[in-house]
Amino acid sequence: MSGLLTALVACLSLAAFAEAKTPSCRREDVPTIDVFGLQVIDVQAKEVRNYTTWMSIPGLTAVAPPGPIDFCNITVTYTHPGLHDTVNNYIWLPLENWNGRFLAQGGAGLAAGADGWLAPNVASGFVSANTDGGHSIFGDIQKVGGDAAWWALPSPGNVDWNLLQDFASRSLDELPKISKQVIAGFYGKPADKSYWNGCSTGGRQGLMAAQRYPDNYDGILAAAPAINWANFVPAGMWPQIVMHKLDYYPSACELEAIRRAAIDSCDALDGLQDGVIAAPALCKYDAEAAVGEPFECGNVTGKVTTEAAAIANAAWAGPVRDGKREWYGVTHESLLGFSGVPGMAGLVMTECDDEVKRINCRGKPFIVGQSYVRDLLFKDAEYDTSHMGEDDFWKALRISRNEMMSIIDTSDPDLSEFRKSGAKMITWHGLGDQLIPSDGTLDYYQRVLALDSNAQDYYRYFEAPGVGHCMGGVGAAPSQPLDVLIKWVEEGIAPETLSAASLPVNGKAESARHRILCPYPLVAAYTGGNPNDAASFTCAESFDATKGHDEL
């Protein structure tokens, strides 16, 4: 008995030591990483003090004011023997005030991770990590986020399927497994809870984790997810195909005039005239109605043409063949051209040698769709997507569905294993998303519900009227959805609404719109009062007696 007592005391002493362990940022203190299927090449530990370079985006990262942070950056570099790849995991561990949680951060475009997005998470007390998915996340964003040729196309006609698998899925399983081992060694105890946070590609990564690796996280926040990849990415080229066919390349000003006309027509369908189309399924506006209307943007003037109307209608309808829609288009309130704000552009981009006189104009496809079609589908870095015809478009869509569906599509509605794990997931999508049609996400969630009518017990979907891709627009975006997810996971309080707010106009706080977002199939119905006050809305089954959703 005395021996047993001695052993027990020793165990308790070790446990107390572990609880009291002071983190040290040294390579020798990092435990041996043991994850099946990979071989660690190198581990680096670097103490970072007074770090201030970051990007805090409400709804996309933890919310934290800019300020210096101190952390240990542990970089784990590994390979999959025989596959000739190199993957880097970047794990940032707070040197003090760790909240006991691990938060993995998603990427953007064709980058598995993004610069600066870990910092606000660390400032909020999380250990935060991301992966480069086998190709560096640091450097030129045009190269990293939107161009795949340099890493996925080693020679004409040959895709590097191993690196594509790393980016699409494999690294997403390994990131939490590696990070959790590092955390346990660094602090002397494991993380209490583990979370995923991401938008766009980060949203797709979150859903990939839920579908294929359901035991890795306790909670997943997957916003504006780039799911249905095999469909929506090539389908996003459709407006460019129509422009090329009509040999007409409208200015952003002309496209904006059409978009504004659509908003004016459909704004009040939800019972509130506020410059937002909150009921896009009810909007049947035909851009032909805007033909002949004048527009003016500085030096650019003119009247809406029949060709521009046809292009706008094509963007809203999505690709159609033999009378059947092959995928969804963007909504009527989605930005079509370039807004003048870097990063805020739609699928109907054009460029000209002379923008004012519109001389020698041509299409300018969305960089991710362009690279995907050129490098991963046609496997030819010299292919010119700006001259892509309709036959090549349908060929690209067929190749995408045949070759990429099982690799990167992330649209499996069977979440039964995720449900069994006890984890929770929240998805939200801006209805003004100009790059990823929100109807594709709605379609996915409806298929989830068709398989499991009780899916809301662990997975809830929210739509944000007037919000663009991950951010932007005049609508109200979720304020702190990560906090809501944590409360659901750790306190069992399911979100009945998400608090949302828009940016103030000209810095005037009173101009900001405060709304509630309701879990599908409910909508935020206006009940009267100040439309900028969230209390003026309630979750209801519909805005009025009629509502619907166009099916494929």
* Residues 167, 280: Cα–Cα separation, whole Å: 33
pLDDT confidence of 65, banded at 50, 70, 90?
Answer: confident
pLDDT single digits (tens) 452-491: 999 999 999 999 999 999 988 999 999 999 999 999 999 9
| pLDDT score of 332 more than 50 | yes
Amino acid identity for residue 123 in this structure: A
pLDDT confidence of 551, banded at 50, 70, 90?
Answer: very low
**CA separation (Å) from 404 to 149, 168, 372, 410?**
16, 10, 11, 10
Average pLDDT estimate for 363-379: 95
- Measure the N-to-C terminal CA separation of the chain; round to a whole number of Å: 72
pLDDT confidence of 545, banded at 50, 70, 90?
Answer: very low
Please give the pLDDT value at position 503: 79
Boundaries of every domain in the chain: 18-191, 203-228+410-552, 238-364
Mean pLDDT lowest for which of 66-75, 196-205, 225-234, 540-549? 540-549
H helix and E strand count, the chain? 16, 20
pLDDT single digits (tens) 422-445: 999 999 999 999 999 999 999 999
| Greater pLDDT, 115 or 42 | 42
Angle at 112 between CA 109 and CA 115, to 5 degrees: 85
Using DSSP, state whether 449 is helix, strand or coil: helix
Mean pLDDT lowest for which of 14-18, 291-295, 445-449, 515-519? 14-18
Q: Which residues pair with 350 in a beta bridge?
A: 363
Amino acid identity for residue 468 in this structure: G
Q: Which of 334, 469, 514, 536 is catalytic?
A: 469
* Residues 201, 146: Cα–Cα separation, whole Å: 11
Q: How many CB atoms lie within 10 A of CB 508?
A: 8
Residues comprising the chain, all counted: 552
Residue with tokens 């899916």: 455
Q: Which of 115, 433, 439, 443 is catalytic?
A: 433
Please give the pLDDT value at position 7: 39
Average pLDDT estimate for 506-528: 88
| pLDDT score of 13 more than 50 | no
Active site residue 433: yes
Query: In terms of C-beta density within 10 A (0-12 exposed, 13-18 middle, 19 or more buried), how is residue 288 classed?
Result: middle
| pLDDT score of 133 more than 70 | yes
Q: Which of 200, 251, 411, 438 is catalytic?
A: 200
Active site residue 200: yes
The answer to whether 108 and 70 are in contact (CB under 8 A) is no
Q: How many CB atoms lie within 10 A of CB 280?
A: 24
Backbone angles phi, psi at 121, to 5 degrees: -65, -45
| pLDDT score of 552 more than 70 | no
pTM of the model: 0.92
Is it true that the peptide bond before 521 is cis, omega within 30 degrees of 0? yes
322-327 LR contacts (CB < 8 Å, sep 24+): 324/552, 325/552, 326/231, 326/235, 326/397, 326/552, 327/228, 327/231, 327/232, 327/235, 327/437, 327/440, 327/552
| pLDDT score of 9 more than 50 | no
Please give the pLDDT value at position 345: 86
Please give the pLDDT value at position 341: 66
Please give the pLDDT value at position 505: 72
Please give the pLDDT value at position 17: 37
Backbone angles phi, psi at 131, to 5 degrees: -125, 150
For residue 22 the two structure tokens come to 């002071």
